[in-house]
Amino acid sequence: MNSKDLFSPLQLGPSTLTNRIVMAPMTRNRAAEGNIPQEMNRLYYEQRASAGLIITEGAQISPQGAGYPFTPGIYNDEQILGWKKITAAVHQKGGHIFIQLWHVGRISHPSLQPDNALPVAPSAIKPDGDAFTYNGPQPFVEPHALEISEINNIVDDYQQATRHALNAGFDGVEIHAANGYLIDQFLRNGSNNRTDEYGGPPENRSRFLLQVLAAVTSVCDSRRVGVRLSPLNSFNSMRDSDPMTLFSYVVQQLKPLKLAYLHVLEGSMSPLPEGDETFDYKKLAALYDGIYMANHGYDRQSADEAIKSGTADLVSFGIPYIANPDLVERFKADAPLNAPDQASFYGGDETGYTDYPFLSS
């Protein structure tokens, strides 16, 4: 008899999660000047500490990794100190928290880069649309195609950011390899047309991700390292000619690494081109014999069914966690959820950030 449900505990590496409800990583653009986590960020995460696991918003691994205003980093002492206050607050409430390590690649703008440099990418392919800058929307530019020596430097940045994350008290790190950011740009051939050892077949396009994981797990127990993928997500001008083959290969390479989890966005944040709507996520999950975290469009019922049926071990929730700091308690009581205020999702003050009511109030 399967006794697992959304509220049953789970051993995640050295951490014992009290439930299987995960707060998904979500950009909120509320870091202080210098991309330093601040007091309202501490309160925001502390309020949501009843989640089985919190995965923070993406934190850039270097100044070059930034692509949006007011997003936190994890590359200097001031940022580490800011994050220490957050991890301590979450742990004081009995919660667990991973930091998502982020490099946006081409999804940036010279005004957000050191010395107004071009954003970097595997290939000089400009994404569609506008970058969000401190001066409002600005058209994306053609990025600089990384040299191999520069790729190696970024791998080193991931390793150093992991050291910083451990110093800041995080229970683990999530490598952001999804949603059209740098690692995803290497993975998918719509953004990678290289002809060297980082381009062409899936084994070459996966090389950067696997190098990052080798570097990160050399300084952090692999059971404290997760990876996020988004095989079909078209957000940020992303597409691949054969995503099932690509991501099946990627997942088979992840299996022997004994990672904390595989976190998969099962769908797309933007409309998909006709003919791109299908992907066998159950087959992908079955290929991975570790802890599988599902994400995208789940509610209480569908998440509980996924856990009970064994198609997922954890389910992460995004927008419901913006508006419901006590999402676990509301799910347990089958209580109504607060409605999210979309106008306050990105940037601003405490309004729409730390002022959503708790069920108990």
Has 181 been annotated as catalytic?
yes
Beta bridge partners of 12: 15
- What is the b/e burial string over 316-332, where b = at least 16 CB atoms within 10 angstroms of the residue's CB? bbbebbbbbbbbbebbb
Q: Which of 181, 198, 281, 298 is catalytic?
A: 181
At residue 293, what are phi and psi to the nearest 5 degrees?
-110, 120
| 361 residues of the chain, pLDDT tens digit each | 358 999 999 999 999 999 999 999 999 999 999 999 999 999 999 999 999 999 999 999 999 999 999 999 999 999 999 999 999 999 999 999 999 999 999 999 999 999 999 999 999 999 999 999 999 999 999 999 999 999 999 999 999 999 999 999 999 999 999 999 999 999 999 999 999 999 999 999 999 999 999 999 999 999 999 999 999 999 999 999 999 999 999 999 999 999 999 999 999 888 887 666 689 999 999 999 899 999 999 999 999 999 999 999 999 999 999 999 999 999 999 999 999 999 999 999 999 999 999 998 7
